[in-house]
Amino acid sequence: MLDDKTANALMDAVDEGFGAQISQTADLVRFPSTRGAEAPAQDFMAGQMRDRGLDVDRFKVDIDEIRHWPGFSPVHVDYDNAWNVVGSRRVANPKGRSLILNGHIDVVPAGPLDMWSTPPFEPRVENGWLYGRGSGDMKAGLMACLAAMDAVERAGFGLTADVFVQSVVEEECTGNGALACLARGYKADAALIPEPQNQGMIRAQIGVIWFQVKVRGIPVHVADAGEGANAIEAAYTVMQALHELEHDWNSRKDQYPP
């Protein structure tokens, strides 16, 4: 546990840098880093890391390097421009425990533009909230990783173990970007993912299953429609059953160890 004096010094240092933190987060939001188009935003992150003196490792997600790892998800999109960026601050004689700070740079598509009150990739602050696609999920978290390291330094504390800041692609569909960091050899005693989730610390969460269901009908002449089977109507029954299964699984989510 931190003593009050140390905690206050850190909090003051965070406050002191908060204006810069928000403006850098806004700069990051301006990059429309939807899946497959993350590279310019990753270049920005690499620059931010370099400015802070971190060792920057920028590498492409190679499917062949990760396909045999647990947690790998099948790939249905192009990875030709899928670049991860990791900034490392290594300590010569570590005394403390090492840490990975991990966040994803990809954002979900903006959707219909006419449902936005201002353009999605034009950040704006209103009533203390930063708006713009990806501000919350999770560019604020990514910049907070770097801002936290700034604050530690500004408060006059040195790091006692290695810290790795990972800005990864491909979270909105799979998790292959983070997996690629692990496959590349990045390990630490702990990992913190500043994803905006219930505004609290959580140790585990539900995952995602991707699958396809094929429903076949029985084609007949329209005069004999009652004899056939409509695949779309049958799919509706399947969907209802899947909703029930989802509800059942989610109702048991707190029965698993983290």
The answer to whether 62 and 72 have CB atoms below 8 angstroms apart is no
Complex with Zn ion: residue 89 or 104, whichever CB lies closer: 104
Q: For residues 16 and 195, which CB has a smaller minimum distance to Zn ion in the complex?
A: 195
Burial of 177 (0-12, 13-18, 19+ CB in 10 A): buried
Q: How far is the CB of 197 from Zn ion (least distance, A)?
A: 8
Residues in contact with Zn ion, total (CB under 5 A)?
Answer: 3
Active-site residue identified among 38, 57, 106, 137:
106
| Binding residues among 116-175 for Zn ion as defined by CB under 5 A | 137-138
Query: Which amino acid is residue 170, in one-letter code?
Result: E
Question: Which residue lies nearest Zn ion, judged by its C-beta?
Answer: 137
Which residue lies nearer to Zn ion by CB, 27 or 195?
195
Tokens of 123: 């950040």
Shortest distance in whole angstroms from residue 251 CB to Zn ion: 24
- Quote the Cα angle for 43-44-50, to 5°: 90
Q: Is 224 a catalytic residue?
A: no
* From 38, 137, 162, 171, active-site residue: 171
- Pairing label, strands 190-192, 99-104: parallel
Closest CB 234 distance from Zn ion, rounded Å:
35
Sign of the alpha-carbon torsion through 118, 122, 124, 130? positive
φ, ψ of residue 102 in degrees (nearest 5): -125, 135
Closest distance between Zn ion and the C-beta of residue 172, in Å?
7
Where is 84: in which H helix or E strand? strand 83-89
210: exposed, middle or buried (C-beta count within 10 Å: 0-12, 13-18, 19+)?
Answer: exposed
Q: Is 106 tagged catalytic?
A: yes
Binding segment for Zn ion (CB under 5 A), chosen from 23-31, 46-54, 194-202, 236-244, is 194-202
What value does the CA radius of gyration of the chain take, rounded to a whole number of Å? 23
Whether 22 and 130 have beta carbons less than 8 Å apart is answered as yes
E strand or H helix that includes residue 193? none
Q: How far is the CB of 35 from Zn ion (least distance, A)?
A: 12
Residue range at the interface with Zn ion (CB under 5 A); choices 77-85, 128-136, 191-199, 227-235:
191-199
In the bound state with Zn ion, the residue whose beta carbon lies nearer, of 9 and 140, is 140
Nearer to Zn ion, 137 or 162 (CB): 137
Enzyme catalytic residues = 106, 171
Q: Site residues (CB under 5 A) for Zn ion?
A: 137-138, 195
